[in-house]
Amino acid sequence: MATITAVAQTREIQYTEFDLPNGLHVILHEDHSTPIVAVGVMYHVGSKDEARDRRGFAHFFEHLLFEGSDNIGRGEYSKYVEKAGGVLNANTTGDRTYYYEVLPSNQLDLGLWLESERMMHAKVETKGIETQREVVKEERRQRYENQPYGSILPEVLKRAYTMHPYQWPTIGYMEDLNAANEKDYKNFYKTFYVPNNAVLVLAGDFAPKQAKADLTKYFGPIKKGAAVPRNKVVEPPMKGEVRDVVYDKIQLPAVVEAYRIPALGTPDFYAVDMLNRLLSNGNSSRLVKNVKDAEQKAVYVGSFSLPFEDPGLAIAFAVANMGVSPDSLEASMDKQFARVRDEAVPEAELTKLKVQIETEHAMENSKVAGIANNLANAYTFLGGTAKVNTEVEHYMAVTPADIQRVARKYFVPGNRVVLHYLPENQKK
């Protein structure tokens, strides 16, 4: 059975975890094969925690938290890390903000100091705020506005959600960033950047006992914050298919189909994710094999699920081959969705998906930086750190009946947004 072989070839990630009195959760993963260490802090705050007139604030704030602290001057975060021979970065999603450094193992304390300063008393100055506002606007232009098809996510989100804050993209909107003021920074920091809303992960070459003592020195004195408010908005079900045309600076039309799906970590999510793999993981997957290869309707086709904490989306996206109309491309894609609804997935095909997942799972833990991120993610969103090793079992348990059931439940026209992307010059 696939389940048994999967366990046989996948090596478990060993870890220990504990809480500091101030509520900071700590996970340690020891690995001495390379003399480096990853230090990561995940704050459970993302764009879904933003006020409706401050869209993009969580991500903007991520930029500002590299500006400095009571003890770290403007621009010095990166200098400390790079002088030590390390790298640093951060990223923000709808649900969380993650900061990390990868350092030579003798510089672990530096990473602890930098991250604890960020959590304890970050500081931003006017020059930093004004500069980062411009930087974020350029990031928005570069990633969304100046890329062909770059607006897909914002265009989908604003039609797929009516109430939930997922209706705006993490990058936000410029008018809201322009309106952000000092009160916003202070409130956001006080509310969300507290130890009881974060997890600290160390992965790599360190001695756990010493590391525990050191991290306690740096993070222990940080005061616990108030209970973190959670956005409880529940998005009502879609009232039928939403369909629209978007004009963009493109040559080839494209079709986007976004289906509303259940949240990350729910039983149906695994079957939905398997369905997406069935559709587009590898050249033998159904969309790639049929839409792109056999019918030659597309130059590119893919589908993926957004792993959101609240109910998210599965998005299928295809760029038309020369001379193929969006209608004909959509029909070709829909044939594959209908097939998943109408026929149970053959066992052999399901076995293929399980082998792919087993292999991916073995590969995704190849670097300490990735392991740190996976551990933080499992703790924050999957219902416990242990899921880093057991998550794969949920996939292995998915049956053909599960896939057909979620196909019929979620992958139906009444539960989706369909966008046709057309070249600007076809605008009437």
Partner 1 sequence: MKSTPLHTLALAATLLIPALMTAQVDRTKAPKPGPAPEVHLGEHKSFLLPNGMRAIIVENHKLPIVSAQVRFDIPPVMEGNIAGYQELVGELLTSGTARHTKEQFDEQVDGLGAQLSASKDGVYAMSLKKNFPQVMDLVYEVVASATFPPAEFEKARTRMLSEVQSRASDPDQIADVVGQSLTFTKGHPYGEVVTEATLKNVTRKEVEQYYRHFFQPKQGYLVLVGDITPQEGEAMANHYFGLWQGADAPAVANAQGQLEVKDLGPIEPGMATPPLPGNVRVAFVDRPGSAQSVIKVLFPVQLKPNDPMALQAQVLNTILGGGVFNARLMQNLREDKGYTYGAYSSLNADRWCGSFSAGCSVRNAVTDSAAAELLKEIRGMRTSPVSAEELALAKSYMAGSFARSLEDPRTVARFALNTFLNNLPEDYYETYLKRLDAVSAADVQQAAMRFLHPDSCTVLVVGDKAGAEKGLEALSGNHRVLAYDANGDIVRPDPSEGATPAPAGTTVQTVLDAYIKAIGGKAAVDKVMDLKKEYTTSVQGMAATLTEYNKAPDKYAMEMKVGNMLVQQITYNGNRAKLKGMMGEKDLEDMELDEVKRNAFAFPELHYPEMGQTAQLVGMVDLNGAKAFRVNVKSVQGGQYDDYYDVKTGLKLRRKESQSQDGGGYVQVITEYSDYQPEGGVLFPRTLHQSGGMDMTLKATAISVNKGISPAVFTVE
Q: Which stretch binds partner 1 (CB under 8 A): 6-14, 230-238, 393-401, 404-412?
A: 6-14
Distance CA 165, CA 52 (A): 8
Nearer to partner 1, 176 or 309 (CB): 176
CB of 48 to partner 1, least distance (A): 23
Residue 362 sits in the site that holds partner 1 (CB under 8 A)? yes
Distance CA 284, CA 292 (A): 11
Distance CA 283, CA 302 (A): 11
Residue 363 sits in the site that holds partner 1 (CB under 8 A)? yes
Strand order in the sheet with 198-204: 16-19, 25-30, 198-204, 36-43, 97-104, 87-92
Distance CA 170, CA 57 (A): 8
- Exposure string of 97-131, with b = 16+ CB inside 10 Å and e = fewer, is bbbbbbbbeebbbbbbbbbbbbbbebbbeeebbee
Among 49, 257, 273, 358, binds partner 1 (CB under 8 A): 358
Residue 148 sits in the site that holds partner 1 (CB under 8 A)? yes
Distance CA 163, CA 325 (A): 33
R_g over Cα of the chain: 23
Residue 336 sits in the site that holds partner 1 (CB under 8 A)? no
Spell out the alpha helix ranges (H) of 281-397. Answer: 286, 326-342, 347-364, 368-381, 387-396
Residue 137 sits in the site that holds partner 1 (CB under 8 A)? yes
Nearer to partner 1, 134 or 393 (CB): 134
Q: Looking at residues 267 to 306 of the shown chain, list those that interact with partner 1 (rule: CB under 8 A).
A: 281-285, 289, 292-293, 296, 299
Among 366, 426, 427, 428, binds partner 1 (CB under 8 A): 366
Nearer to partner 1, 367 or 405 (CB): 367
| Three-state DSSP class for residue 242 | strand
CB of 297 to partner 1, least distance (A): 11
Residue 103 sits in the site that holds partner 1 (CB under 8 A)? yes
The dihedral sign for the CA sequence 332, 334, 335, 340: positive
CB of 18 to partner 1, least distance (A): 15
Distance CA 61, CA 181 (A): 12
Among 5, 14, 16, 91, binds partner 1 (CB under 8 A): 5
Among 42, 102, 200, 388, binds partner 1 (CB under 8 A): 102
Nearer to partner 1, 139 or 268 (CB): 139
Residue 339 sits in the site that holds partner 1 (CB under 8 A)? no
Among 104, 265, 400, 413, binds partner 1 (CB under 8 A): 104
Residue 10 sits in the site that holds partner 1 (CB under 8 A)? yes
Residue 332 sits in the site that holds partner 1 (CB under 8 A)? no
Distance CA 91, CA 97 (A): 6
List Cβ<8 Å contacts ≥24 apart for 109-112.
Answer: 109/214, 109/218, 110/80, 110/81, 110/84, 110/86, 111/37, 111/39, 111/81, 111/86, 112/39, 112/214, 112/215, 112/217, 112/218, 112/219
Among 42, 271, 287, 319, binds partner 1 (CB under 8 A): 319
Residue 162 sits in the site that holds partner 1 (CB under 8 A)? no
User: Which residues 6+ apart lie within 8 Å of 342 measured at CB?
Assistant: none
Q: Which stretch binds partner 1 (CB under 8 A): 144-152, 267-275, 327-335, 373-381?
A: 144-152
Nearer to partner 1, 34 or 266 (CB): 34
Q: Which stretch binds partner 1 (CB under 8 A): 227-235, 365-373, 398-406, 414-422?
A: 365-373
Q: Looking at residues 408 to 427 of the shown chain, list those that interact with partner 1 (rule: CB under 8 A).
A: 423-424
Residue 153 sits in the site that holds partner 1 (CB under 8 A)? no
Q: Which of 375, 380, 372, 377 is nearest to 36 (CA)?
A: 372
Nearer to partner 1, 164 or 292 (CB): 292
Distance CA 212, CA 240 (A): 53
Residue 230 sits in the site that holds partner 1 (CB under 8 A)? no
Distance CA 259, CA 414 (A): 9
Q: Which stretch binds partner 1 (CB under 8 A): 235-243, 302-310, 362-370, 373-381?
A: 362-370
CB of 240 to partner 1, least distance (A): 33
Residue 321 amino acid letter: N
